[in-house]
Structure 1
């Protein structure tokens, strides 16, 4: 594979992202954000270029949605690699002004989709980034979600195992919206019962043809991760979804707390080596290019 597409990265600064100060010293599932509290597009290029990344998708970081998109839309002309080629912007789909925000986001050429954090783990407070666990059943939120079809926007779905049955139902009820499961469905738990629930949840979600999944977030969810520890997660997911619906994503700089960029990529490459060259190409580049239209 001559090039790589990164389906998920962030840039940020304490000047624009005040919440970063709340996770210095801990408070985030990945650990202490102090080493990554300032992370620019130039920082990202230094990390990603040696790994052969040719295209990248920036995913929202929970600040003013239109200001972030405006800032990101100016970046391609300011860096030689033209990053980001795609933008997953923010919108609170439950808010009264959701329609206005989506209309405004649609004016930006590189916006490809929307993300709103939905994860609400039963016991792990660091995986409760949503204010509650009601959005997937909320008529007002679902009304906002349905508006994405008008703009051909995808939706990045950030959910935990206990939400997957409802997530699958939502995905199935919106067949004309492309969904993407973030970070392999957040496989945080290691006990046999919960791992089985995660597997069954992903199997149910995979039955919908309008969904893809990111093979990412392993160093965020497990500070002591290894290529070997992620092997069963990756092999199960690729076998369940098919390589044409799986994509590499670095989740940088979050995963940088516990891994190098090359380390994340090399672990994935090792774990997909048994698949065909065409399947590996899909995972490393083609799926992200197709799903995010970049």
Structure 2
């Protein structure tokens, strides 16, 4: 990982974190609303090839998504999703990313019912054949399903399918948790996880930091299963020790060389995020994993619940503006291309 000669990453990170004022959000500084302030980006930055490591598409008339169906409520982990509960296809995606040099995109399972997972893959394959996107797919399969080997084989039969995601976020607070139990403690789930290697599939891990130390030994036992952690590990900054929990969990996973992380989902971390509030977390994540194991992603349209995609992209480019060009090209394109085995010529 290289830096420009005039910057030392650890020194800058220390300065960023040291300036955080206690204690409203776990020691991360509140900030003026810089996400609403337009950023002046050089043409060179906006033309860096972007392989979007995490997107969602859906046609609500084709596949049902319970979480995108009324009635809507503010009680869930991320509040009401009514504003994004409409069809979102490749044309809408391209419009949202029009300012950025998108050369590839990875679709991650969008929360369809389990019995529609294969149909979602088939639908996305059809889109890709016509529109050129998505480039790769991370499909859904419930790793605790008794028939998981068959489910994985069916997904792996599609060449665009590179990995599997089974969301496992568990938290003792009912409004924060995604499910009633911590699936990662289930031996059947762990056995299903082990089968991913047989089918040449990676795993997109979406969990909370408190689950990471317990997951680390399982992940370590299977170095042939690449793991891509979603949304920067989703720190729960409203927890009393949320920032330290995140650091402990991230260090446990960063110690495993086959684990990478997506830099995305800032609104899941803090709905009122600003450039100032997320920059220390992004920089610390890159410092832990290295620039070769991190990948920026838009997480559109889900992240549009909290800001425009341009605001995210402007902020991401600003955060790493001092990095060497080779690192920036890796963070925005090269790493996702490698991690998901897309074979793009960058």
TM-score bucket (shorter structure): over 0.9
Choose the corresponding residue for 1:42, options 68, 81, 91.
Answer: 91
Q: Secondary structure at the match of 2:215?
A: helix
Choose the corresponding residue for 1:281, options 326, 329, 335.
Answer: 329
Return the alpha-carbon distance in structure 2 between the equivalents of residues 23 and 281 of structure 1: 42
Shift of 1:3: 1.3
Is 1:176 matched up with 2:224?
A: yes
Choose the corresponding residue for 2:120, options 64, 68, 76.
Answer: 68
Shift of 1:190: 4.5
Match of 1:123?
173
Match of 1:114?
164
Match of 2:55?
9
Query: Kindly tell me: are residues 78 and 193 of structure 1, through their superposed partners in 2, closer, same or farther at Cα, counting changes over 3 Å?
Result: same
Query: Kindly tell me: are residues 201 and 46 of structure 1, through their superposed partners in 2, closer, same or farther at Cα, counting changes over 3 Å?
Result: same
1:23·1:32 contact (CA, 8 Å) conserved in 2? no
Superimposed CA distance per residue, residues 46-92 of structure 1 (whole angstroms, 9 cap, x where no aligned partner):
1123222111000002221111111111111222xx11000000001
Return the alpha-carbon distance in structure 2 between the equivalents of residues 107 and 43 of structure 1: 28
TM-score, length-scaled by structure 2:
0.80
Return the alpha-carbon distance in structure 1 between the equivalents of residues 179 and 270 of structure 2: 21
Return the alpha-carbon distance in structure 1 between the equivalents of residues 216 and 266 of structure 2: 22
2:76·2:175 contact (CA, 8 Å) conserved in 1? no
Shift of 1:124: 5.6
More helix by share: 1
Superimposed CA distance per residue, residues 161-181 of structure 1 (whole angstroms, 9 cap, x where no aligned partner):
110101211211111100011
Alignment size in residue pairs? 290
Return the alpha-carbon distance in structure 2 between the equivalents of residues 97 and 159 of structure 1: 23
Give the 5 Å matches for 1:59-98.
59-63=108-112, 64-79=116-131, 82-98=132-148
1:243·1:282 contact (CA, 8 Å) conserved in 2? yes
Choose the corresponding residue for 1:54, options 103, 116, 119.
Answer: 103
2:138·2:162 contact (CA, 8 Å) conserved in 1? yes
Q: Secondary structure at the match of 2:261?
A: strand
- Worse overlay, 205-214 or 162-171: 162-171
Shift of 1:25: 4.4
Higher RCO (Cα < 8 Å, 6 or more apart): 2
TM-score, length-scaled by structure 1:
0.94
Shift of 1:259: 1.1
Q: Secondary structure at the match of 1:125?
A: coil
Return the alpha-carbon distance in structure 2 between the equivalents of residues 131 and 249 of structure 1: 28
Unaligned runs of 5+ in 2: 1-44
1:216·1:248 contact (CA, 8 Å) conserved in 2? yes
Q: Secondary structure at the match of 2:99?
A: helix
Return the alpha-carbon distance in structure 1 between the equivalents of residues 293 and 225 of structure 2: 15
Cα RMSD, aligned residues only: 1.6
1:155·1:177 contact (CA, 8 Å) conserved in 2? yes
Superimposed CA distance per residue, residues 195-228 of structure 1 (whole angstroms, 9 cap, x where no aligned partner):
0111111011100011000001002332211111
Q: Secondary structure at the match of 1:93?
A: coil
Return the alpha-carbon distance in structure 2 between the equivalents of residues 71 and 257 of structure 1: 25
- Worse overlay, 263-272 or 177-186: 263-272
Match of 2:30?
none
Return the alpha-carbon distance in structure 2 between the equivalents of residues 124 and 280 of structure 1: 39
Unaligned runs of 5+ in 1: none
Match of 2:209?
161
Q: Which has the larger radius of gyration?
A: 2
